[in-house]
Amino acid sequence: MSDVLDTAWVEEPDAATTARIRGLLLAARAVDGRPEVDPGGPLPPELRGGPHLLGEAGGELVGYAHLDTRGDAFGRWVGELVVHPEHRRAGHGTALASALVTRAGGTELRVWAHGDHPGAARLAARTGFSRARELLVMRVATEGARWPEPTPPPGITLRTFRPDRDERAVVEVNARAFSWHPEQGRMSVADVRAAEAESWFDPAGFFLAEDAEGRVVGFHWTKVHPANPARFGGRPVGEVYVVGVDPAARGGGLGKALTLAGLRYLRDRGLGQVILYVEGDNAPAITVYTRLGFTRYEVDVQYAR
């Protein structure tokens, strides 16, 4: 029962606590395919900063939650919640969710459910959350894909990212392109530099579009995920990580050109499949990606209270 779960908030986990959290996340990843966590590295970016909630039973870490108190672009706090696969259906998820609600107080709270598991829907209903947002995961096989050479609009050229030179320009375009987005719109120069330090970062797969005056007006940031036994057939997969186009440069096919540049790059790296994340209510983007061969694979849900 949930009353055997001892919970404690930790503001800054030490190395030993971080290792325990990582172990729980890896156990969940082996079953669920999520979260993306480096066995020997830091916690995933979405779990850095903000307080950490540890749930112990019998001296073992069986549950974990994180609360991003920086908030999304609209000031809502965002939580993540994981229960060890061997300790599920014991009320621990309810106890962790209730603790998140208490900690948030009167601040609007949203919690992610990755994979839209029926158990997450039941937990949400028990704890007063309602379905507020869907994030689709779409996938395409690269073999046989007919992706032509990208053709940018007149006066626009494509090049690759230059570390220590292009961060500010990318952030400024991103802010204009994603002013409506809860997470992407708040990307900072520090976030870009932090990503550059990650093992997956590759400037050769980061495409920028420049106008005739040398201004960056769009970008396509690709990413490569290592093999995950519980997802995508256990093979490495490329990702259309972020495609951003300055609103003033839309309507001429720049977004498609940038997308094609990244897709062809990922295919040429020998990756057999490419994924992307897109808002479930973004019908125009879904239509574009469907025409490029993408089909729905998974859905992540954000529940709100």
Residue 96 counted as an annotated binding residue: no
> Is 256 labelled a binding residue?
yes
Rounded CA separation 131/304 (Å): 6
186 annotated to a ligand binding site: no
The answer to the question of whether 40 is labelled as a binding residue is no
Residue 82 labelled as part of a binding site: yes
60 is in an annotated binding site: no
Whether residue 276 is annotated as binding a ligand: the answer is no
Distance separating alpha carbons of residues 17 and 274, to the nearest angstrom: 34
Q: Is 46 annotated as a binding residue?
A: no
Q: Is 243 annotated as a binding residue?
A: yes
Q: Are 23 and 113 in contact (CB under 8 A)?
A: no
Q: Encode 30-43: b = buried (16+ Cβ within 10 Å), e = exposed.
A: eeebbbebeeeeeb
- Whether 50 has a binding-site annotation, put simply, is no
Q: What is the DSSP string of 47-108?
A: GSSS-EEEEEETTEEEEEEEEETT--TTS-EEEEEEE-GGG-SSSHHHHHHHHHHHHHTTS-
For strand 157-160 and strand 206-210, is the pairing parallel, antiparallel, or unpaired? antiparallel
155 is in an annotated binding site: no
245 is in an annotated binding site: yes
C-alpha pair distances (Å), 203 with each of 61, 154, 163, 198: 38, 25, 7, 12
Outline where DSSP puts E strands in the chain.
6-10, 52-57, 60-68, 77-83, 109-113, 130-141, 157-160, 206-210, 216-225, 237-245, 273-279, 295-304
Establish whether 239 is an annotated binding residue: yes
The amino acid occupying position 175 is: A
241 is in an annotated binding site: no
The answer to whether 115 is a known ligand-binding residue is no
For residue 35, cis peptide bond before it (omega within 30 degrees of 0): yes
Q: From the annotation, which residues make up the binding site for acetyl-CoA?
A: 81-83, 243-245, 250-256
Q: From the annotation, which residues make up the binding site?
A: 81-83, 183, 223, 239, 243-245, 250-256, 277
